[in-house]
Amino acid sequence: MFRPRPVLPCVALLLGLAAGCSSNDAGPDGDVRGNDAAETVTIAVIPKGTTHEFWKSVHAGSLQAAEELSTPERRIEIQWKGSQEESDTAGQIRVVQNFLTRGVDGIVLAPNDSGGLVDAVADAASEGVPVVIFDSGLDPAAADAGAETVSFVATDNFIGGRKAAARLAEAMAAAEGDAKPGVVLLRYKAGSESTEQREEGFLAELRENHPDVEILSADQYAGTTPEESLANATQVLQRFESEFKIRPGGIFAVCEPNADGVHRALKELGLTEEVSFVAFDPNETLVAGLKDGSVDGIVVQDPVGMGDKAVRALIAHLDGEGVEPRIDTGVLIATPENLKDPAVAALLAPPRAE
């Protein structure tokens, strides 16, 4: 159960007057605030990073859950903090440690390295602070190291990778007729469980169901920022043409910053009509690419639902309720043909917390 935190009672109660306190609202820092006489449950929500659109939507979902679960007797407070860069594993570990020092009631964490965060989660478990993992999993051996968790709330990223491969093969076939050009997989970051699952799902789908599509490259890393991905994708595309005298027929980029940079590289090199492109996770530029034909598909998750369900799972655990060990938040593929479908459109432009 959660550990109650001392809060200041209403001034009217101190005076012995039968006056009430204000109802819940959202404070300027994004935390849910409310009745000063209520019990407070403080939940730390720690994303992989804080700069990309996906995480802002996860934040919105966590605030939504806190608002809806708060009552006059108990308010749920979300404390949102993460490293700016998703490659900063040491910074994310410090964020976890700082929250443990401050004494939160629970942690909702998206590890940016499946192995690097195991000890930090084990520290939380040893202090009796429950942890829900979301978006990207821990190393499978984490529990053996004492890193016990309540639940894993995430997309089935392996299935997402499969959907990307099927869509890319379809787009390439439509563009090239009987030709079977090769594809390039541009990876994200070693140790990122979610993107590694996407990468493996993509390759499995091609090998099992599209054997005529040659995999030209599956070991290149685009990088963790749009700028890094732009440079690396440009280099890969130019190298194929200069050294091998071939041009890939399709490219898959496995997350928003990765895909943003790859899309820019294709545009700058004038290859958007010749190279089919599928991304994972939307932003405004990539959605515009669906509309202008420079993007053939975007695998879309439900980041708002992910943040919402992760917080709800943790609160249910604190309340002594059973929680499923794995909660799937769903995945769809958006294409130029279905982008106006209400279910797809909602995931292409989800609410964001700024």
Residue 115 has pLDDT above 50, yes or no: yes
What is the rounded distance in angstroms from the CA atom of residue 255 to the CA atom of residue 186? 10
pLDDT digits (tens, 9 = 90+) for 213-227: 999 999 999 988 999
pLDDT digits (tens, 9 = 90+) for 4-25: 434 333 333 333 333 333 333 4
Higher pLDDT, 244 or 294: 294
The CA distances from residue 329 to 153, 161, 175, 307, in Å, are 7, 15, 32, 10
pLDDT digits (tens, 9 = 90+) for 308-342: 999 999 999 999 999 999 999 999 999 999 999 99
What is the rounded distance in angstroms from the CA atom of residue 250 to the CA atom of residue 346? 27
According to CATH, the superfamily of the domain at 157-300 is: Response regulator (3.40.50.2300)
69, 78 contact by CB (below 8 A)? no
- Domain(s) of CATH 3.40.50.2300: residues in the chain: 11-154+302-328, 157-300
Question: What's the pLDDT score for residue 37?
Answer: 67
The CA distances from residue 179 to 169, 172, 184, in Å, are 11, 9, 16
Which tokens is 72 given?
């006059």
Average confidence (pLDDT) over 293-297: 97
pLDDT digits (tens, 9 = 90+) for 53-111: 999 999 999 999 999 999 999 999 999 999 988 999 999 999 999 999 999 999 999 99
Banded model confidence at residue 350, pLDDT cuts 50, 70, 90: very high
The CA distances from residue 284 to 11, 54, 191, 222, in Å, are 47, 11, 27, 20
Task: Phi first, then psi: give them for residue 34, nearest 5 degrees.
Answer: -175, -140
329, 156 contact by CB (below 8 A)? no
Query: 11-154+302-328 — its CATH code?
Result: 3.40.50.2300
